[in-house]
Chain A
Amino acid sequence: MDIPAPVLELANLSKTYRGGVAAVRDVSLSVRAGEVYGFLGPNGAGKSTTIRMLIGLIAPTSGEARLFGSDLRSDPSVLRRVGSLVDGGAFYPFLSGRRNLEVLAKTHGAGADRIDMLLEQVGLAKDSGRKVKGYSTGMRQRLGVAAALLNDPEIVILDEPVNGLDVAGIQEMRALIRSLAVEHGKTVFLSSHLLHEVQQVCDRVAIISKGAIVRESTIADLLRQDDGLRVEALIVRATRAEAPEVVRRLVGVGAELFRLVPEQRNLEEVFLSITQEEPGDA
C-alpha cells in the first residue's frame, strides 16, 4: 500500500524566547494526507508554541515547517490551504456569530457562501444572530471549528478543541473531527492534553514533553508496548493459562488475594510513563 505524501512536516523546529527559555526543541514530525494526527502533551509542553509556529503566528528560532512541500517562511501563502482553531473562544465579542464569520470570510478572501452550511454543520444556525459575548464556551469552540473550515482547507489544525466542552459537546466535537477526515477527506492535526480524546479520534500520535518529541507512533503500537498482569501491588509476568497456578501459589504462601486482573494499560498510563521520563532518556 502506498503511503500518502506528507502534507505537514516539521524538521528540527525550535523556539527559544528572550531570556533563553526553550519552549520547543528540535521537533520533527510528519503528517500524511487524510490522517487524524494527535499532538499530545501536558500543559506547558510546547504544543501551542509548535502550532503557533506552524500557522505563522510565531517565528521559529531554527528549523523548518513545511506545508504541502513549501517552506512556510518562504511561501506563507500556503497557509490559505490551512484552517486553524487556536484559542477557540477568541472572537469579536461585539459581533454576532454570523457576523464574525462574515468578517473572517472577507479577511480570508474566502467568500461568504459557505457560512450557512458551516453554521448548520456545527449546530449554531439558530444562534448565529446572537452576539458572541453571550455564547457558552462550547458554542465558541464550535464557532471556532466553523471559522477553521471557512476557506475549505485541506488540513485543519485544532489546538485543544474540546477545552471547556461538556460530555455531549466533547462527543459532538469528536464526531465532527472524525467526519472531517472520513467524510470530507481532510487531514486533521489535533493537539490535546486529553488522552482519551486523542485515543478516540487519532490514527497516529506524537507525544511532546518539555518541548521535545518523546514518542511518535500509531495509537495501537503505543498501547501494545507494555502488557502484563497486575495483582494489587504485585505484578506477575505470566500467561493467561498460568493464572490458576499463580493464584494457588499466592494463596499457598498466605497472601490475601482479592482479585487477579490482566493489566490493560490505557493511553493515559503509557503517556504518563513516557512524559515522566526526561526527553533525553526517550
Chain B
Amino acid sequence: MLDALSAELLKLRRHKATWFLVWLYPILFTIIFTLSTAVGMAGLEPPDRQNLASWLAQTAIPWRIPGNGLGRYMMAAFIALVFAGEYGWNTWKLIVPHRSRSSLIAAKYGAVILLFLAAFVLSAFISLLGTWADDVLTGDIVPAGIGAASLLRVHGQAALSALSPFLVTLGYASLAAVLTRSTLAGLVIALVAVTAEQLVLAFGPALAMKAPAIAWVLYQALPGYHLDNLAAWTQQGAGLHTPFPGGGVVAWSWPASLAAVAAWLLILIGGTFAAFRRQDIN
C-alpha cells in the first residue's frame, strides 16, 4: 500500500496540474504577503492595529479555501485529473495487473489528501509568517498573547472546518471521474454537484415558497447544510438555525450533521471503490 502511495506521489509531483491546482496556494500566499509587506514598507497604508482574535484569524485564512465555492471547484479539477487521468493516458493497463484495485484507489485518495494537506499547512505557515513579518517590517503592532496554544487552537478549528467540504468535494470528483472515465466530464459533474449543493443552501427557504416539501427535503438531504452546520459548530460552538416558511426550522445537532456527512462520504467514496472494482478496462 505504501509503495502504491509513493508511486502516486512520484507521478503527481511532476505533473503541471499539481503546480497549478495544489502548490498554487502557498505560491499565491507568498506573493500576496510579499506585495502587502512591500506596500506597507513604502508607507502607502496607515499602520494597522489588530486585536489578538482577528490577528490569529488572519493567519488562518488559507483554511477557508476548501469551504469556498471557487476553492472547491479548483480542488475538484485536480481530483478529477488524478482519478480520471489513468483513463486518458491509458495507463491503468500498466498498473492494475500488479496491485489490487482497492489499493490503487486508496493510494489515489491518500496522495490527494497528503498533497492538499501539505499545500494548506504550508500556506497557513506562510500566512502566519507573512502576517508577523508584515507587522514587524511595517511598524504595525503585533498583539500580545500569541503562543503555540492559541495558534494551534485557531488553526486546528479552521482545519477541522475545512475537512468536511474537502472530503465531500473529493467524493464528488472521484466518483464522477471513475464513472465517466474522463477528467473533463468528472470535473463538470463535480462542479454541478457543488453548485447545486450551494444553490439549495442559499435558496432553499425561498424555494420552499413554491415547493415546500421538496425544498425541505433537499435542504436537509444534500451535504451543503450539514457542511455549514458543522463549520458553525466548530467555529462558533453553535449550529445553524434556518427558518422555513410555514414555521419549520432546520437545526441539526453536530453529531447528526456529522452522521449525514459521513453517510454522503460512504456513498461517494464507497461508490468509487465499488465502481472501479467492477469496471472493465478496455
Contacts and interface: CB of A to CB of B under 8 A. Distances in A.
Interface of A: 52, 55-59, 76, 79-80, 82, 84, 86-87, 90-95, 99, 102-104, 106-109, 147, 151
Most buried by A among B14, B93, B281: B93
Contacts of B6: 106
A109 B104 CA distance: 12
Is chain B's binding surface mostly helix, strand, loop or mixed? helix
Given A80-B98, A94-B16, A108-B98, 7 more contacts: A52-B93, A55-B97, A84-B97, A103-B11, A104-B94, A108-B95, A108-B99
Given A52-B282, A91-B91, A99-B14, A106 B7 contact: yes
The 10 A-B residue pairs whose C-beta atoms are closest, nearest first, are A90-B90, A106-B7, A57-B281, A107-B7, A55-B97, A108-B98, A58-B280, A79-B97, A86-B93, A109-B3
Interface residues of B, number: 26
Given A103-B7, A103-B10, A90 B96 contact: no
B278 interface: yes
Interface string B78-117: 0000000000011111111111100010000000000000
Contacts of B278: 59
A90 B91 contact: yes
Interface of B: 3-4, 6-7, 10-11, 14-16, 89-100, 104, 278, 280-282
A84 B281 CA distance: 14
A221 B96 CA distance: 37
B93 A106 contact: no
Contacts of A108: 3, 95, 98-99
Contacts of B98: 79-80, 107-109, 151
A95 B94 contact: no
Contacts of B7: 103-104, 106-107
A99 B91 CA distance: 14
Contacts of B90: 87, 90
B92 to A, nearest CB: 7
Given A91-B89, A94-B16, A104 B96 contact: no
Contacts of A79: 97-98
Contacts of A93: 89
A37 B118 CA distance: 50
A107 B97 contact: no
Contacts of A103: 7, 10-11
Nearest to B4: A107
B100 A76 contact: yes
A106 B7 CA distance: 5
Contacts of B94: 90-91, 104, 107, 147
A62 to B, nearest CB: 15
24 contacts: A52-B280, A55-B97, A56-B97, A57-B93, A57-B281, A79-B97, A86-B93, A87-B93, A90-B90, A91-B89, A92-B89, A92-B91, A94-B14, A94-B16, A95-B14, A106-B3, A106-B4, A106-B7, A107-B3, A107-B7, A107-B98, A107-B104, A108-B3, A108-B99
Contacts of B10: 99, 102-103, 106
